[in-house]
Amino acid sequence: MTQEQLIARGINDERVLDAFLKVPREDFVSDEWREFTYQDHPLQIGCGQTISQPFMVAIMMALLELQETDKVLEIGTGSGYVTALLAEIVSDVCTIERIEELLINAKKVLGELEYKNIHYKLGDGSLGWVNALPVITEFDKIIVSAGSPNIPHSLLSQLKNGGKLVIPQGAQAHQELVLYEKHDEGIVTHRHGGCVFVPLIGKEGWEA
């Protein structure tokens, strides 16, 4: 998968590629989909949610230019696969999931893989890391694994100056992948083509 679906299609961030080589995607896929584990498309994980297409995940991670010292906020824990990939690279991952069943399952798998730098929250991801432990008010990077009609203000407010946020933005049926960079003088926006994600449900996303 790494060679044929990522490197061959232009992913050259060594940290990202190393993470994909280390994390066993099959551990995050149910038995009924196991034979499709390393194909380049999303798979159902239950509760109307999916484990994202590997190439799209790699693009999002590469755009963030992840560093070892980064504190990263992940919106949409889902299966926990992207959480694990992030945890292989950065110092801390704070991940939010609104569906309790998915969060319980992800914590179980990630615990079995012995990750120690992941912090969990059950709640509205569109509001970010509020009323959660550890207390972190600003993040170096934010990755949103669900499509939003607009950029949630709460997430931008929790992004450090110099930080990057990547999010699928647009209609529920189809979005555009957008990278935001926050600077003292304002927000710089970069657009990176079409994509399709499940909707971001929440106060600053789509209504349930």
Which member of 52, 79, 126, 148 is catalytic? 52
CATH hierarchy code of domain 2-195: 3.40.50.150
Structure tokens at 203: 């106060």
> For 68-125, how does the pLDDT look when each residue is reduced to its tens digit (9 = 90+)?
999 999 999 999 999 999 999 999 999 999 999 999 999 999 999 999 999 999 999 9
Q: So what's the pLDDT on residue 40?
A: 76
C-alpha dist (Å) from residue 103 to 55, 100, 120, 143: 23, 5, 8, 17
Question: Cα dihedral sign for 168, 67, 83, 201?
Answer: negative
H or E element, residue 22:
helix 14-22
Model confidence at 186, pLDDT cuts 50, 70, 90, reads: very high
The answer to whether 166 touches 60, Cβ cutoff 8 Å, is yes
Structure tokens at 98: 């609104």
Could you tell me the end-to-end alpha-carbon distance of the chain, in angstroms, rounded to an integer?
35
Kindly report the number of other CB atoms within 10 A of residue 35's CB atom. Answer: 10
Kindly report the number of other CB atoms within 10 A of residue 75's CB atom. Answer: 28
Could you give the CA distance from residue 76 to residue 183 in angstroms, rounded to a whole number? 25
pTM equals 0.94
Model confidence at 41, pLDDT cuts 50, 70, 90, reads: confident
Q: Quick one: DSSP state of residue 44?
A: E
Number of Cα atoms under 13 Å in the Cβ half of residue 44: 6
Q: What percent of the chain has pLDDT over 70?
A: 100
The yes-or-no answer on residue 145 being catalytic is no
| 3-state secondary structure (DSSP) of residue 10 | coil
Q: So what's the pLDDT on residue 172?
A: 93
Please state the domain extents for the chain: 2-195
